[in-house]
Amino acid sequence: MGKISKKEKKELEKSKNNEKKEKKKKVSLKKISIISGISGSLLGFGGALFLLKKNKNKGKQETEPPLKIDESKKWIFIETEKYSEPIDGEMRTCYLEYTLEKTNFFLINILSQEESVLPIYYVIPHRIVEVGEGQIKAGGDPFYAVVGIPGQKGKRDKLGYLQMGKRIVFHLCIVGGGKNGIATGDKLYSKRVVKKIEFQ
């Protein structure tokens, strides 16, 4: 085997250096490919989480801030959201209406942070059933009560307030004789949340 000239020696070294560079390049590309795949998976997972949260929030009933009952008004008309109920063997669309007439009776609320006097209302409940293009309105038994929003997570009921997107709580009362009514300790709740409130 003959001697290698300086020129040939340089060519061999150059060739080896090129091979090393190619190997490094391939390793780098492989790393980039792996990182891209992981990033894509994470982005996809993040997108799925976003969609899940978005869909979860979509089903929530939107509510407005609590509305203090205007005690200067004689009447309150309340309508609930619609719901389905089996009636005479068929599923019917229904909703509830409450007509509240302010009386001359009051209830002293000693359970609130500040002692307050609450008006007692004469409440007439109605159930409206949609039949074809018409409606059937059926009245329930009227009662006397103070009105409010049910308390959440162990909190007391917020009496003297109503809120869209929330149920109604009625604290039943006995009236007669003097102007001060007496709470019976019993409560009634609206079957569905409030959709419409009108004061007159």
Same domain assignment for residues 56 and 105: no
Last residue of a domain, one of 20, 36, 60: 60
Last residue of a domain, one of 41, 60, 79: 60
Same domain assignment for residues 47 and 124: no
Same domain assignment for residues 104 and 162: yes
Nearest CA to 101 among 70, 79, 122?
122
Same domain assignment for residues 2 and 86: no
Same domain assignment for residues 85 and 56: no
pLDDT tens-digit readout, 63-91: 688 999 999 999 999 999 999 999 888 89
Per mean pLDDT, which range of 51-55, 90-94, 116-120, 147-151 is the poorest?
A: 51-55
Rg of the chain's alpha carbons, rounded to an integer? 36
Same domain assignment for residues 113 and 53: no
Same domain assignment for residues 106 and 188: yes
pTM of the model: 0.65
- Number of separate domains in the chain: 2
Q: How confident is the model at residue 96 (pLDDT cuts 50, 70, 90)?
A: very high
Q: Which residue has the higher pLDDT, 63 or 118?
A: 118
Mean predicted confidence (pLDDT) in 55-69: 66
Last residue of a domain, one of 12, 32, 60: 60
Write out the chain in H/E/C secondary structure.
CCCCCHHHHHHHHHHHHHHHHHHHHHHHHHHHHHHHHHHHHHHHHHHHHHHHHHHHHHCCCCCCCCEECCCCCCEEEEEECCEEEEECCEEEEEEEEEEEEEEEEEEEECCCCCCEEEEEEEEEEEEEEEECCEEEEEECCCEEEEEEECCCCCCCCEECEECCCCCCEEEEEEEECEEEEEEEEEEEECCCCEEEEEEC
Same domain assignment for residues 36 and 82: no
Same domain assignment for residues 10 and 84: no
Same domain assignment for residues 106 and 167: yes
Same domain assignment for residues 120 and 80: yes
Q: By residue range, what is the domain housing residue 178?
A: 67-199
